[in-house]
Amino acid sequence: RPPRANMRTGQARKRDQVEHAIVAALRQAGVIVLPLSGPGVPDLLCYHRNRWLPLEVKSTANDALTGSQAQLWLATHFPVVRSVEDALRAFGLS
């Protein structure tokens, strides 16, 4: 079952508050991190040990995927991370 979707559209996109800390921690752990932007696209594209992994960053448990993100999640099941620990765990680094 996909994470809860938020169907609101037309909102200005802003980076989630925890994203900067997540990017810094992943890079310190040796992960290549590329910020992404676009409708339905996860926030980060990461590469570590011959593995590409998109990550969607949400600041709180109440933050939901957009409708287009939820559609992509159904096809790919990319991790939705809410903390540095979640992001490191996605790569088996915690």
pLDDT value for 9: 41
HEC string of the chain equals: CCCCEECCCCCCCCCCCCHHHHHHHHHHCCCEEEECCCCCCCCEEEEECCEEEEEEECCCCCCCEEHHHHHHHHHHCCCEECCHHHHHHHCCCC
- How do residues 3-55 score in pLDDT, each as one tens digit? 665 544 433 345 667 999 999 999 999 999 999 988 889 999 999 999 999 99
